[in-house]
A and B are shown apart, each in its own frame.
Chain A
Amino acid sequence: MSEIPAPTASEYVYEVRDVGKRYGSVVALEDVTLGVRAGEVVGLVGDNGAGKSTLVKILSGVHQSDSGTVLLDGREQLWKSTHQVIEAGIETLYQDNGLAPNLAVAANVFLGRELTVKGPLGRLGFLDKKKMDKLAHEDLEAAGIGVPASERSVSQLSGGQRQAVAIGRAVAWARKVIILDEPTNHLGARQANEVLDVIRAAKAKGLGVIFISHTLPHVLEVTDRIVVLRLGRLVRDAPTSEFDNESLLGTITGLIGAT
């Protein structure tokens, strides 16, 4: 920690440059460069095995890349843990959401950043459950999520409700960037539309949003820019206006060549 690298001029709030990742002999990601601006929604699409989830895990600090750099506000970062990434204001919603099934809604919203009571008991880690229940409820409401912060464990909620809690948690805590990996999974059409509204609200708040989805109409509807991955490589990075459903599908499957 002797020297903080000087920020390089960057239009992006969060970006990766030339990142690569292999698992044994399998190349999951190779020389991928992408960034998201504040108040921008970037769609990240690609077939299964294109490297989307690997990229998400590098962006969220679950994995470290083998090569390339990660920059936040133009400053190079060497994330060592998810904790650092979260502390930096970057929130991630994982596919098959990352909730603790046996904890209640409020406990999940505050997982990893619990509020403790005042005084010596607080230093021992004793929790201020009432305050967390209240704030979790307010946070979810503010994020546009209508699941009451009840005492029930989230495993007893429906898939849609769990997804809502996971999204609400991410939106409530994100200060800079929010990464949503398949947030409309398990959801019906109306609920999916509501998720898209949540994304628009996050954008309006000035957050950078990275939206990963297989549902191309959603991607076309809500994003400003679309990045297409194929077999671990970036094949297209262009404004959403340059795509339609057909050309996007063609780019993903490789029927339309990279530009």
Chain B
Amino acid sequence: MARRIGLVAYHVFKESVRDKVLYNLVLFALLMISASYLVGQLTAGQDIKIIKDLGLAASAVFGLFIAVFIGVGLVWKEVDRRSVYNVLVKPIGRHHFIVGKFIGLALTLLVNLAVMATAVYVVLAVMAWTDPTLVRTASVEAPVVDPNLLKAFLLIYVQLLVVTALALFFSTFSSPMLSAALSFGLYVVGHFNADLAHFDAVVKSKTAAALARALYYLLPNLALFDVKTAVVHGTAVPAGYVLLTSGYGLLYAAAVVGLAMLVFARRDFK
């Protein structure tokens, strides 16, 4: 079974490389290098903070676009081209197909994010090396080349897995345009999720409050994954928090992939 899933995943990864998805890394590198030069001209001694903010935010945004725009086409494209028939007549189950697609895109995102994290560290190290005064100023809150940034990168990755799972789920029954709209919609809603938990403070109806509470648990809580500001300011992000949040994200993504498998299993390709 693992081999079949691995085969699908490998082909998704290969296709994303062939589709020049990883070209975004060049754009990212250019953004980081030009920012490291320009920021010093634009701001008053906050170069390191801004480079960290920009590096983390750009990684999240680039990853989000890859997760959504590749994710929404994963299944739809195969169905539209009718290449899904060729795949499914082989000894590859529909569930293998979906899990393989998910893992393939997860692998693409992992490679992408790993390269971006490396680029951020390289830019920071070069800045610290070329201007040692930056180290003295920045190290008041957090070291320039701070290993804790990895916690933020890890949570960005898990968040992207949740978004990928959602995009894949929508891709099993909807067109790419609608799937992208729904995925982005859930991404935005996922950041306001906490409001739903306290909905009883603004409505009198107990039913509405209970419904909001249910939605709070049902919808992905993506705000939890944002530790970027804390990490940049050197505020402690406990390992327990990272583990629990990652666990939540992985289980949520697994549940959505499971739903995608169910929907795809019921689709009639005749």
Interaction A to B:
no
Residue numbers of A with Cβ under 8 A of B are none
